């Protein structure tokens, strides 16, 4: 698989209440201003950079559109300190990996952000839990 | 000889009513120490020390209606104190004055100081979904927040703020009372999202935050009350809880990264040219 090979890119707009319902609530920053949970974004390409940081982590994916133009998708995840708790490890996403990501797109015209993302390998197997800027949360479970 | 004279003088002094009166007057005119509590009874000092889990394991994470909820918003949902909202759950959302409403109306998300790693402050930092460590020393109580690597010092020895003590976390004094730790924090700097960044509510240099911490079994609980006459019509408060952090847990460094903190601002539709 060539680096940067674009298998399929679809930033499709759909009434995706399904995704909106899947968005857990854990965050310091609200994502509603930056991302549109009514839409769905999907991209597949090669990981070029991984920034596991606080307050938010980012994974950069290079794809090529139908006109041959390279597009850099920026996938925003929750803080690394929380990803770590959720079970992420630093070797789960590394530069050179070919991945598919499905999430919700950024609002600003011309931007290529995705959050609340689920990463998968070409064989369809999942990489890490679904998560995004708002992480994975849940209701309190008590002591 | 010297000792003999001193003892004699002392005996005469303490034996005289005039000396007793003088002592009374002297004590009565001693400088007041509003928060000094040199020797609180051990029974009134709650054991708050440890690392406390403020993640969604303990309470719902912060969002536009947590912890500041309007009437009915948390009906049937978990509340910050770990209980479930019902018809009788009072709203916690503050009554904003016209100045605050004007700020909310013109606010631009890109202005949020958080996008440049400016730390959260009370009353938000107490409710961020991270862990907090409390250390109780005789003259101070330390609050170490995993979020933003912040340290707040609550002075228990009567120390009072000076004109040099204005700061983003303010200046905190405290005392123990009724098995609780009471904390009063003033001297905050103006913060455009200093009350709540989800609802774009600012806080002023007149913000005063009162916190009451106590134990209920294994839980740490607190009621946070905020006064800010420049933005709030009346004080607003919420009660929350923490659970003990997993055994052996150590606070993680946050090391906020300015590059990724501001990266997502590009995804915001531009509100102003």
Which residue from A55, A109, A140 is facing B56, i.e. has the nearest CB?
A: A140
Cβ contacts of A74 on chain B, cutoff 8 Å: 263
What is the structure's pLDDT at B65? 94
Interatomic CA distance for residues B230 and B205, integer angstroms: 9
Looking at CA atoms only, how far is residue B233 from chain A in angstroms?
26
Decide if pLDDT at B156 tops 90. yes
The residue ranges of every structural domain in chain A are: 1-30, 41-127
DSSP secondary-structure letter at B240? E
Written as six digits, the tokens of B272 are: 């102003």
| CA distances in angstroms from B70 to A32, B64, B74, B90, B94, listed in the order given | 19, 10, 8, 8, 9
A107-133: per-residue pLDDT in tens?
999 999 999 999 999 999 999 887 666
Nearest to B57 by CA among A129, A26, A55, A28: A26
Q: Do B244 and A143 touch (CB under 8 A)?
A: yes
Distance from CA of B78 to the nearest CA of A (A): 7
φ and ψ at B92, to 5 degrees? -110, -10
Residue A48's nearest CA partner among A31, A66, A70, A65 is A70
Answer whether A108 sits within 8 Å of B61, measured CB to CB. Answer: no
- pLDDT higher at B109 or A7: B109
Pairing relationship of beta strands A70-77 and A113-120 according to DSSP bridges: parallel
List residues bridging with B244 in a β-sheet.
B52
Give the tokens for residue B85: 């909202």
CATH number for the segment(s) A41-127: 2.40.50.140
Two tokens, residue A111: 């931007």
Q: Do A60 and A49 meet the contact criterion of CB atoms below 8 Å apart?
A: yes
In this prediction, residue B38 carries a pLDDT of 61
Tell me how far apart the alpha carbons of residues B80 and B78 are, in angstroms, rounded to a whole number.
7
pTM of the model: 0.80
Nearest Cβ partner of A81 from B252, B259, B268? B252
Whether the CB-CB separation of B134 and B48 falls below 8 Å is answered with yes
**CB atoms B56 and A138 under 8 Å:** yes
Whole-number Å distance between alpha carbons of B27 and B70: 50
pLDDT tens digits for A65-118? 889 999 999 999 988 888 888 889 999 999 999 999 999 999 999 999 999 999
B10-63 tens-digit pLDDT:
444 444 444 444 444 444 344 334 455 666 776 689 999 999 999 989 999 999
B→A interface, C-beta within 8 Å: 55-64, 77-78, 82, 109, 112, 114, 117, 120, 128-130, 146-147, 197-198, 218-219, 243-244, 252, 254-257, 259-261, 263-270
Q: Which of A57, A86, A35 is nearest to B55 (CA)?
A: A86
* Nearest residue of B to residue A35, measured between CA atoms: B267
Residue B254: which of A74, A81, A107 has the nearest Cβ?
A: A81
Q: What percent of chain B has pLDDT over 90?
A: 81
The span from the CA of A102 to the CA of A97, in Å, is: 16
Element (H, E) at B211: strand B208-216
Euclidean distance between the first and the last CA atom of chain B, given in angstroms as a whole number: 89
DSSP string across B225-262: EEE-TTTBSS-EEEEEEEEEPPTT--PPP--B-HHHHH
Which residue of A54, A116, A139 to mutate against B (max B Cβ within 10 Å)? A54
| Tokens read off for A126 | 């999942």
Over the stretch B124-144, which tens digit does the pLDDT of each residue have?
999 999 999 999 999 999 999
Minimum distance, in Å, between the CA of residue B201 and any CA atom of chain A: 14
Residue A140 to residue B60, Cβ atoms within 8 A: yes
Please give the residue of chain B at the shortest CA–CA distance from A140.
Answer: B57
Residues of B in contact with A82 (CB under 8 A): 55, 129
| Beta-carbon contacts of residue B58 (< 8 Å; ≥ 6 apart) | A140, B82, B241, B242, B243
**Distance, CA of B121 to CA of B27 (rounded, Å):** 39
């Amino acid at each position: 698989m060539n680096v940067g090979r674009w298998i399929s890119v679809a930033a499709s707009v759909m009434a995706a209440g399904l995704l909106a319902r899947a968005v857990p609530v854990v965050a310091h920053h609200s994502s509603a201003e930056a991302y549109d949970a009514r839409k769905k974004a999907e991209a597949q390409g090669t990981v070029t950079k991984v920034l596991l940081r606080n307050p938010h982590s980012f994974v950069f994916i290079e794809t090529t559109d139908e006109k041959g133009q390279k597009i850099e998708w920026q996938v925003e995840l929750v803080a690394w300190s929380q990803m770590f708790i959720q079970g992420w490890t630093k070797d789960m996403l590394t530069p050179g990996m070919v991945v598919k990501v499905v999430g919700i797109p950024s609002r600003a015209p011309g931007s290529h952000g995705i959050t609340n993302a689920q990463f998968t390998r070409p064989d369809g197997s999942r990489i890490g839990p679904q998560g995004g800027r708002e992480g994975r949360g849940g209701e309190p479970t008590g002591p | 000889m010297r000792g003999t004279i001193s003892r004699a003088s002392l005996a005469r002094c303490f034996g005289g009513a005039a000396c007793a009166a003088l002592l009374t007057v002297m004590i009565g005119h001693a400088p007041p120490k509003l928060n000094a509590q040199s020797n609180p009874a051990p029974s009134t000092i709650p054991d708050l020390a440890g690392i406390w889990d403020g993640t969604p394991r303990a309470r719902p994470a912060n969002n536009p209606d947590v912890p500041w909820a309007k009437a009915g918003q948390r009906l049937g949902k978990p509340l910050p104190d770990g209980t479930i909202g019902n018809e009788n759950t009072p709203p916690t959302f503050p009554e904003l004055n016209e100045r605050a409403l004007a700020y909310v109306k013109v606010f631009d998300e890109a202005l949020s100081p958080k996008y440049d790693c400016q730390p959260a402050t009370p009353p938000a930092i107490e409710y961020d979904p991270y862990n907090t460590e409390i250390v109780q020393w005789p003259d101070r109580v330390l609050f170490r927040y995993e979020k933003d690597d912040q340290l707040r010092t609550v002075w228990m020895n009567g120390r009072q703020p000076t004109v040099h003590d204005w700061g983003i976390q303010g200046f905190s004094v405290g005392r123990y009372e009724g098995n609780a730790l009471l904390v009063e924090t003033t001297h905050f700097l103006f913060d455009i999202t200093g009350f709540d960044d989800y609802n774009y509510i600012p806080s002023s240099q007149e913000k005063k935050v009162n916190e009451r911490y106590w134990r209920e079994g294994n839980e740490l609980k607190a009621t946070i009350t905020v006064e800010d006459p420049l933005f709030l019509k009346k004080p607003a408060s919420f009660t929350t809880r923490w659970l003990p952090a997993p055994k052996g847990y150590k606070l993680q460094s946050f090391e906020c990264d300015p590059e990724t903190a501001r990266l997502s601002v590009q995804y915001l539709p531009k509100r102003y040219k």
